[in-house]
Structure 1
Amino acid sequence: MLWTRWLVLLLCWGATAGEQQADEREGFRAEIRADSRRQRSPPPVEPLDFGFVPSAVYDTHAYYEPGAVGILFHMVHAFLYVVQPNPFPKDLIVRVIQQNMGGIKIEEWRKPENVVLLLQWIHYEAGFLVCGTVGVVFVILVPIIGILFCVCRCCENCGGEMHQRQRKNADCQRGFYTASLVATTIFIILGVLISYAANHNISAQIKSTRRFINTNMRDLKTFANNTPAQIDYLTAQYTTAKNKVLSDLDNIGPLLGGRIHSQLEKEVVPSLDTALRMAGAMRETKEALENVSSSLEVLQEGTGKLQTSLSVERASLSNTLSDPACTNGAVSHTCNTIRSTLSQLGINADFSRLPDVSHSLGNVDTILKTDLSNIVQKGYSSFNDTPRLVKDQTKNIVSGVKGMLDKIGAEITGFSKMFPVEASLANFTIFLTEGQKNIESFYPQIDQMDFYRWIGCVAALCMIVLILAFNILGLLCGSCGYDKQATPTTRGCLSNTGGNLLMAGVGFTFIFVWLLMAIVTALFVVGGNVEKMMCEPLANRQLFKIIDTPYLVHPAKKNFLPGMLFQNPNIDLTLGSMYRECYENNGLYHALQLETMFNINSFLNRTVYNKDLAKVFESVQVDLQDITLLEQAGRDNLINFANSGIGQIDYAAFLAEVNKGVTLVDLLSFSTDLEAQADQLPRGALENALKGHASSIRQIHRDQVVPMEQAMKYVRARSTLSQSIKQLQRTSSDLPVKVTNILSAIDAAEYLITHNASHVVKQETKNYVQSLVGYFKQYTAWVKNSLTAEVAQCKPISNIVDSMEIVACSFIVDSVNTFWFGLGGCCVLLIPSIIFSTKLAKYYRRMDTEDVFEDMGNTGNHGEQVCDIHGNLAVVSSPYSDTLTRFPRASAPPSYSDW
């Protein structure tokens, strides 16, 4: 039909500087070439969220729990296993089908291979053949035996003689026959109940069958109605990948330019950082020179003043010690001691010999007029402007890619609109609705047929019930009316009625049992074989293996299912695999292996990421020659700094003088000692003069030495003069070499940008394109996974198969088999029922004649008996028994004139 073709197509869809500088440059180029051969791993692709495909909720629960009647089903299955224990003959059935594909004539069965197949089949069906033969023999023999039984009884044989022999174990026999008949009757009642339960189960499950039909039809409609929305959702989610790609294209500067920048900054930024640090070193050098210059000026001026002051104080103290008072005894010793220390009043560090640094400071000041930091910052800015350059230089490419993406989206949407999905599924839904109505129109006929079936089964059971009624009534009447004191010819009416009812049951048994056994045999052969050949293989999926056997129906057609659906039997699609996928509620695209007919991945890869798109990205060219890391003014500034003269300063002389003390002795200690020695002198002018000199020396220390020491210790930025000199020493150490290395590194970085950046651009462009393609690959992988597991989930198909199995096997076949199982048991048990009823009726029915004992007189021959062959028995009385009393003479029932 047309709608089926469109549905398959729909599912196919729904079913992307000097010699050293030259050496450094050559080494850097070699490193770049080595790095170009090294494969960089692309950055991870950001995962996209495509949401969830609209899922369908199916109502059918293809599961059946029989409940208590399941015990009966298991009993029947166990019985059938005993009858047929052989495994399912899959290979035999396949060989039979393959040999009979073109039809086979009767005479061809004589061929050896066909005879072998026939013998194998007979061996497999041996159990059913034996049981069926027994049933047929039963059906044939029972009527014959019944007729012979009737004729025999008419001839007063087979228990038909109305005479009962008197035996001593008569009561035991009667009890045995009664118990046996009761037990048989109970088992027959159980068989009737089993059959009735099975018969009722069939009628009760008719409503469940309707429920299965309704839910399966509803699930198919849900399947048909939900599939277009799922396919539209798959198509619409291309926009998610497309929007992400467009977002990355709009941010191509930060993304692609940022990646190029991050690759180049490994060499560029360190070179600029060294230049920036050298700019900072220039400023620090200026501050250090200023510190040294100002400190040196203060120290040189202070040194001259201090030397003059100390010379004057030394001469004045010497004059004081020349006083005549110093020549007296102990005083002279003190004066001599003081006189010996006068040489200590002098300067230690002579800063006047240190070179002037003003020339170097002037050079540095001139150099700092050019702001190297600003020039380096321009280099940073120029390099950091790479994303903008990339964005400006790829405007045309980005606009072209956007246009291609819009075209691809239109192609996907157009492809999805090529199929009249809604119309096809509407026709399919109409087909399902009409089919459901047609099925429902048969419900009255099905109910009527089920009613007739139920009546027929009940009628068959009523035959058994009728026989049971005669047996039960016969037992009740016979047991209740039986009198031990009554003789066989004098039994009561109730007892006689019980015996007659038992014999009536025997008669009806002969009338009905063969017909019932015929029904049992037919149902057994059909139902048992259906169970073993259809239901069990369907339950364990062996039946699928037969259908899926390669070249089963035709030597040139490998697989049956794809040949029927797609007219291509070579597709590796089997009914078992399709059922398995649908049972797991996977998509029909995967279940039918539609990728063999229409590979959605190939289509999406071909459509979403085509060759034109690849060519557009391959044409990406980014020119970074406009990037300038260090202007010529900055280079000149560095060179001038190297030639500023700070390297020619004698820093060792500076450090040697700075590390010396200002004076040869600590003036405070000297003045303190002088006062202590003055205290040892007698009071007078000499003592006061010496103390005055001590005070003057202390004043010199306070006014001149302390400022010089402060000038040496604390200068600007709270650094010592020694620290400033050491800093200048470190900065000037190999300063030309440092500047040369900085310029070489900057030249190498600029060479990388201007000559080798094309490789970096290509590599990062490739990684960037791979990230864009990764979004489409995510989309295609998501589409494939969705088609496999979420789109057009074919659970309704497996539900239909499972529902058919439940209805056919669990509802019908199991119930039918349980019915014949119970009915067959009743028929078999009716045979001993006939025997026990016939034997027991003899003890309940009133006999025409009986055994009689009479007294022949006391002749002396004790124990002699005279027997009349017509039933009159004369017994000679003996002292051991009174036979006349025990057995009164009654050769026939008494006759009355009224009778």
Structure 2
Amino acid sequence: MQDAALSRGTRGFGMPCPLLLLLAFAVILLDPVHSQQCSLGSPSPILQFADVGAEQRIPAHHRVPGSMDHLYALVHGYLEVVQQNPFPTELLRDALNDPPSANTSQILQYQTGYIICATIAVIYFVAVPMTGLCLCCCRKHRHCGGRIKAYRRSLLCQRNLLMFCLLLTTLVILGGVICAFAANQKVKEELEPGTRDALNTLQVLRHHMNWVPRGVQLTVEQFTVPKQQILSDLNNVSWTIGTTIHLLLKGNVYSAMDALKARVQDLQNSLHHLQTLNKTVQALIQQQDELEAALKDRKQSLTSLLEDPGCIYCAGALSQAQSLELGANYRKVPSVEKVLKTLHGLPKANFSEMIRRANSSFNSIPGLALVKMADVVQELKEEIEKAGQKLQSIPDNFPISDHTRPMNDALVKAENKSRPYFLEAKRYETYRWLAGIIACTVILLIVFCNFLGLSFGTYGLVLREDPSDYERRGEAGARLLLIGVVFSFLFSWLLILLVFGTFLLGGNVQTLVCKHWANQEIYKFIDMPGNLPPSMNITEHLGLKKSLKITSAYQQCKNGAGLWEVLQLEDNYTLDKYLQVSKYTAEFQKRLDNFNIRFEDIVLLNAEGKKDLETFRDSRIDRVDYANFRAEMHNPVVRTNIQDLAVELERLSKVQNDRALLERLTEEARKLKEIQNTKVLTMEDLVVKLKESVDYLSTLGPGFQAQINNTKSQIGLIEKMFPIQTRKILRQELDCFVRKEVGYVSQYLKWLRSVLTEDVASCKPFSTALDNGRVILCDRIADPWNAFWFSLGCCAFFLLPSIFFAIKTTKHFRPIRHRLVSTGSEETYPFHIPRVTSLRL
């Protein structure tokens, strides 16, 4: 029953046309290959390479935004006004090539702004001390200054205005001295690390130049990363390909083998049921003949017994006894001996061994691929080794070493020469810093005197009701203001000298160097032939081509070009020539493109097995009239229910008066039961058995030819398409493998190009070094330097109104003395306080 259900489960598969059947199976076979993904992993995973050259990179310095940026911008704007002339190309060329021939008038004309500032400084330097000296002499002879002689209401507005102007001027000076303090300290903080960073930049640049050959070698050695990955993939490629072929085709192959197993099972089951049917029919016919004779005897005996007039109530049993006849005639069912004769000896083929061999052959594909690909895998490994050897031509032919040597010598010379200058610069910066601190302290002292003088004077004015307190505090405020004035006159000339000296140096550095460094005018000046004397010719010192331009080289370096491009060595060395993927993978791809495997053809159904299936198909088992079998099986074995008749006879025997009739009825009932138990039940069991075989065969019959044909077509198509599909899957997997492995090489070559152009043999460190030098000199040192003299200069020039307002305000803080006697003397006598001698200048 289980086999029958399995067989029925494989039916329902009919094809109206062999062509449609073939097309359907072709689609089934092709779909897995078309829809498959590369099992060998394409695209290639991302490789991780070592960070070659990380220690040789020059960190780029940048201008760090700060609180003094607005002051720096103000100074830049002021210097733009002072120096409005363009870059002095002709003056510098004459000065560098023939210093005695330099035109002094042109130099003065170019420095017109600085000369004007120098003139102002000289006037300040002479006028302010002279003014102070004149004022001192004037006060000594009592011809100027003094005190207010009489109080007038109009003096209130004048006094308040003077106090406000003095306060405002003092606040401006205070702001300037604070900025000067900050800028002075900023210069000191930046100079030492700036010089250290400049030396470090030179050292790292030199190390970078020396390290180029070693760096190129290290980058080439990183080929071990893709090499190891490719070798690892090669170790697994054959097994992976075999497994993929097996995985993609096993569904169709196993389906065909299952169908074949089902047809073989149908054949075996059909033979079994045909034999059972034939034997059962023969047994039924034999039993039928014996039953027919027994029923005939019982019918005659019962009829005569029940027709006896002495038999009471026997009329009903008589009608049943007259129906004791056969209900089914199994001689009428069709014979299946002809079909059995056709199928005799089947199956002749050993289907179990055939299916076992097919399974073994199909399941051996991964191992077979491993064996057949062993030689090509070894050849591919050798090709990868050759690719690594080809890469050694990059460091062997790299042309940078011959050109880096003079550069390295120049950098060593620059480093050695710059060290003493940097030391001197730090020493002189210490002097400048001390002078700045002293100057700022003096200005701060003047500001302090002004603030205290204003405070005491204002407090004295508030206490005017108390003459004694008013005179003490007012006089103290006046004296403090005058002390501030004295300091202003005494130190103003030193202050203006410091301001002009730092201004002249810092301003020219900004306008002549920093400004034109930033806009690359200096590079253009160097590029113009004849601007530099032979002793300063950079290309000759570095052994470079005369056609090399510093401006274009700087831009190329900044954009990340390689040294060989900037040094114009493309004719001797083209990096693209060495970094072509095909140069290292052509043979690898060629070997895989020419490679092919022929797997053993799988045989699911041999000729003997096909003949067995065809014999089974043509056995006409479906032409048997199974309806006739069913018709006879629906008829009862005996028309009358023998068991019921026997029970009826036993009941009748109990109501009979005649003992002879009673005994005869009892005997007939016993014989009927015997017939029922020995004949009828046996035939009924045979009918049940017959029904099972008829049901199976009748169900199998209508579609079994189509099933056999479909199975044969499916198996034939798989056997025909198997080598085609294996080659197709093999080709597709090899293509995936090639793309993956070439992708590893391509990743490496792209990384190699990036590292050579950006790290190892990059020109960018040179542009970074130049930019760092500009940032160190201009942004970190020159800007706070210029902010210092600008802030100090503001303080110096605002000291002039401070002196004026302080002298004018002093008279208003001193007590007013009313005269008693009109004399030429300035002495006055108060009515209520003793005379106090005031400070006179």
Asked whether the equivalents of residues 60 and 215 of structure 1 are also in contact (C-alpha less than 8 Å), the reply is: no
Provide the C-alpha distance between the structure 1 equivalents of 2:477 and 2:620, rounded to a whole number of angstroms: 153
Corresponding residue of 1:836: 805
Corresponding residue of 1:312: 297
Secondary structure of the residue that 2:322 maps to in structure 1? helix
1:470–1:653 CA distance, 2 compared to 1 (3 A):
closer
Asked whether the equivalents of residues 520 and 824 of structure 1 are also in contact (C-alpha less than 8 Å), the reply is: no
Asked whether the equivalents of residues 851 and 872 of structure 1 are also in contact (C-alpha less than 8 Å), the reply is: no
Corresponding residue of 2:150: 167
Asked whether the equivalents of residues 320 and 640 of structure 2 are also in contact (C-alpha less than 8 Å), the reply is: no
How far does residue 813 in structure 1 lie from its aligned partner after superposition? 2.7
How far does residue 168 in structure 1 lie from its aligned partner after superposition? 1.0
Corresponding residue of 1:234: 222
Corresponding residue of 1:504: 486
Corresponding residue of 1:339: 318
Code of the aligned partner of 2:434: I
Match of 1:247 among 235, 238, 242: 235
1:453–1:669 CA distance, 2 compared to 1 (3 A):
farther
Provide the C-alpha distance between the structure 2 equivalents of 1:623 and 1:217, rounded to a whole number of angstroms: 66
- The aligned runs of 1:683-702 (5 Å cut-off) are 685-687=660-662, 689-702=664-677
Q: Please say if 1:784 is aligned against 2:750.
A: yes
1:729–1:82 CA distance, 2 compared to 1 (3 A):
same
Aligned-CA RMSD value: 6.3
Corresponding residue of 1:811: 780
- The aligned runs of 1:48-447 (5 Å cut-off) are 48=45, 50-54=47-51, 56=54, 70-71=66-67, 73-77=68-72, 79-80=74-75, 136-137=119-120, 139-140=122-123, 143-144=126-127, 147=130, 160-161=143-144, 166-169=149-152, 172=156, 181=166, 184-185=169-170, 187-209=172-194, 212=197, 227=215, 231=219, 234-248=222-236, 250-251=238-239, 255=241, 273-326=258-311, 331=312, 334-358=313-337, 360-361=339-340, 363-379=342-358, 381-382=360-361, 397-413=376-392, 415=394, 444-447=423-426
Code of the aligned partner of 2:668: H
Post-superposition CA distance 1:241-284 (Å, at most 9, x none):
33134224543xx61x5666677778766655544432222111
Post-superposition CA distance 1:290-329 (Å, at most 9, x none):
3223322432232223223322322232232133312xxx
Provide the C-alpha distance between the structure 2 equivalents of 1:260 and 1:653, rounded to a whole number of angstroms: 53
Secondary structure of the residue that 1:765 maps to in structure 2? helix
1:638–1:824 CA distance, 2 compared to 1 (3 A):
same
Q: Please say if 1:609 is aligned against 2:588.
A: no
Corresponding residue of 2:99: none
Code of the aligned partner of 1:167: A
Code of the aligned partner of 1:765: R
Q: TM-score, normalised by structure 2?
A: 0.71
How far does residue 622 in structure 1 lie from its aligned partner after superposition? 4.4
Post-superposition CA distance 1:581-613 (Å, at most 9, x none):
79xxxx999999999975569735223321x44
Code of the aligned partner of 2:322: S
1:676–1:634 CA distance, 2 compared to 1 (3 A):
same
How far does residue 400 in structure 1 lie from its aligned partner after superposition? 3.9
Asked whether the equivalents of residues 509 and 830 of structure 1 are also in contact (C-alpha less than 8 Å), the reply is: no
Post-superposition CA distance 1:824-881 (Å, at most 9, x none):
221122111221233355579999xx99554xxxxxxxxxxxx78x5699xxxxxxxx
Corresponding residue of 1:670: 645
How far does residue 758 in structure 1 lie from its aligned partner after superposition? 5.9
1:645–1:481 CA distance, 2 compared to 1 (3 A):
closer
Provide the C-alpha distance between the structure 2 equivalents of 1:316 and 1:289, rounded to a whole number of angstroms: 40
Asked whether the equivalents of residues 590 and 787 of structure 1 are also in contact (C-alpha less than 8 Å), the reply is: no
Q: Please say if 1:449 is aligned against 2:421.
A: no
Q: Please say if 1:631 is aligned against 2:641.
A: no
Provide the C-alpha distance between the structure 2 equivalents of 1:498 and 1:259, rounded to a whole number of angstroms: 102
Code of the aligned partner of 1:375: M
Higher relative contact order (CA 8 A, sep 6+): 2
How far does residue 202 in structure 1 lie from its aligned partner after superposition? 2.0
How far does residue 725 in structure 1 lie from its aligned partner after superposition? 1.9
How far does residue 774 in structure 1 lie from its aligned partner after superposition? 1.8
Corresponding residue of 1:761: 727
1:338–1:786 CA distance, 2 compared to 1 (3 A):
farther
How far does residue 341 in structure 1 lie from its aligned partner after superposition? 1.4
Structure 1 unmatched ranges of 5 or more: 1-19, 107-121, 715-720, 855-866, 874-882, 894-899
- The aligned runs of 1:709-788 (5 Å cut-off) are 709-714=684-689, 721-733=690-702, 739=708, 742-743=711-712, 746-752=715-721, 757=723, 761=727, 764-781=730-747, 783-785=749-751, 788=754
Provide the C-alpha distance between the structure 1 equivalents of 2:368 and 2:672, rounded to a whole number of angstroms: 75
Asked whether the equivalents of residues 679 and 687 of structure 1 are also in contact (C-alpha less than 8 Å), the reply is: yes
Provide the C-alpha distance between the structure 1 equivalents of 2:550 and 2:137, rounded to a whole number of angstroms: 76
Post-superposition CA distance 1:500-547 (Å, at most 9, x none):
746634642664465455347546744775899479xx6xxxx58x99
1:361–1:186 CA distance, 2 compared to 1 (3 A):
same
Code of the aligned partner of 1:277: A
Code of the aligned partner of 1:812: I
> Which piece of structure 1 moves more, 691-700 or 302-311?
691-700
Asked whether the equivalents of residues 349 and 658 of structure 1 are also in contact (C-alpha less than 8 Å), the reply is: yes
How far does residue 768 in structure 1 lie from its aligned partner after superposition? 1.4
How far does residue 823 in structure 1 lie from its aligned partner after superposition? 0.7
Provide the C-alpha distance between the structure 1 equivalents of 2:510 and 2:16, rounded to a whole number of angstroms: 100
Asked whether the equivalents of residues 38 and 733 of structure 2 are also in contact (C-alpha less than 8 Å), the reply is: yes
What percent of counterpart residues are identical? Answer: 19
How far does residue 45 in structure 1 lie from its aligned partner after superposition? 3.7
Asked whether the equivalents of residues 192 and 426 of structure 2 are also in contact (C-alpha less than 8 Å), the reply is: no
1:297–1:187 CA distance, 2 compared to 1 (3 A):
same
Asked whether the equivalents of residues 202 and 815 of structure 1 are also in contact (C-alpha less than 8 Å), the reply is: yes
Provide the C-alpha distance between the structure 2 equivalents of 1:522 and 1:77, rounded to a whole number of angstroms: 16
Asked whether the equivalents of residues 480 and 494 of structure 1 are also in contact (C-alpha less than 8 Å), the reply is: no
Asked whether the equivalents of residues 626 and 694 of structure 2 are also in contact (C-alpha less than 8 Å), the reply is: yes
Code of the aligned partner of 1:776: V
1:518–1:689 CA distance, 2 compared to 1 (3 A):
same
How far does residue 387 in structure 1 lie from its aligned partner after superposition? 5.9
Match of 2:38 among 24, 43, 46: 43
Match of 1:823 among 788, 792, 802: 792
Asked whether the equivalents of residues 325 and 639 of structure 2 are also in contact (C-alpha less than 8 Å), the reply is: yes
1:485–1:785 CA distance, 2 compared to 1 (3 A):
same
Provide the C-alpha distance between the structure 1 equivalents of 2:576 and 2:564, rounded to a whole number of angstroms: 10
Provide the C-alpha distance between the structure 1 equivalents of 2:716 and 2:704, rounded to a whole number of angstroms: 18
Secondary structure of the residue that 1:348 maps to in structure 2? coil
Asked whether the equivalents of residues 502 and 838 of structure 1 are also in contact (C-alpha less than 8 Å), the reply is: no
Post-superposition CA distance 1:455-506 (Å, at most 9, x none):
33345446646766886898899999999979xxx99999997787466346
Q: TM-score, normalised by structure 1?
A: 0.67
How far does residue 371 in structure 1 lie from its aligned partner after superposition? 1.9
